[in-house]
Amino acid sequence: MRRLLLLPLLGLAAALPAHAQLSAPGTIDSLSLALVASAAEPAVTPAVAEPAKPAPVAPSGLTAQPWYRPHHVVLQTAGGQGMVTAGVGYTTLRGRVDVDALAGYVPSKYSITAMGIFTGKLTYAPWTLPVGAAGRWQVRPLTAGALVSYTASQGINDTRDEKYYQGYYWWSARTRIGGFVGGKVSRVIGTNRYGHPRTLGAYYELGTNDLYLSSIFTNLGGLGVHDILTLGLGVKMDL
């Protein structure tokens, strides 16, 4: 926990010249090295005796961040997206929408050959409720989302290759479309480089996919909703 107190230091990195920013700001060590490096090059930041500028603060929304810098990292299990799944994502629409890109892994123990599952996911959270007087906790009581995934695995028997004539099977063995509802609990653990609160959250997703849906819709009396549900659990941390 004590290390977390140092996190606001990362905010300084935004004020550094570009070459210093390139060094990974994730660890304190590399950050202090970067600080030393910039001090050694006085030409880049001329020491003008101006009154201390206010710390750079991004305007509300996250527009000030360069597009290539993800807003959060994700670690997840299950939910049809892999046994161990990691990814990055962006938050937009005032924190209501997360767009995540994930890569998941399923070992060959549970497959013909190991599977790599690549998922693009959009999660909408209409409400964020602060919990507790200090405002350190946030609850998103309801989230809803959609995802598309592609499974790479040598052993998978394709449904749309030269073995078949066109339309032999109507679905893809590798591409899945899914939807889910869920929730998320987050805790503020300091601020990020722009002075925004940095949160660490745990979430769940109760979902299903296109093939399960087509199974239930043709069997409304035969399958129950519980039959087609999947559960995914994950943590998300703001960068």
**Which stretch of DSSP H or E encloses residue 211?**
helix 210-217
Nearer to another protein, 21 or 159 (CB): 159
Alpha-carbon distances of 192 from 198, 199, 218, rounded to whole Å: 5, 9, 49
Q: Would you mind telling me the total number of residues written for the chain in this entry?
A: 239
Nearer to another protein, 44 or 229 (CB): 229
Nearer to another protein, 45 or 214 (CB): 214
Structure tokens at 227: 């039959």
In three-state secondary structure terms, 220 is coil
Residue 117: CB minimum distance to another protein, A? 6
Nearer to another protein, 36 or 112 (CB): 112
For residues 233 and 141, what is the distance between their CA atoms, to the nearest angstrom? Answer: 15
Interacting residues with another protein (CB under 8 A): 77-83, 104, 106, 110-112, 115, 117, 132, 151, 153, 155-157, 159, 162-164, 169, 171, 173-174, 176, 206, 209, 211-212, 214-215, 218-219, 221-223, 227-233
Residue 83: CB minimum distance to another protein, A? 4
Residue 166: CB minimum distance to another protein, A? 14
Write the DSSP symbol of residue 41. Answer: -
For residues 43 and 39, what is the distance between their CA atoms, to the nearest angstrom? Answer: 9
Residue 76: CB minimum distance to another protein, A? 11
Alpha-carbon distances of 183 from 121, 143, 154, 224, rounded to whole Å: 15, 5, 35, 23
Residue 144: CB minimum distance to another protein, A? 18
Nearer to another protein, 137 or 194 (CB): 137
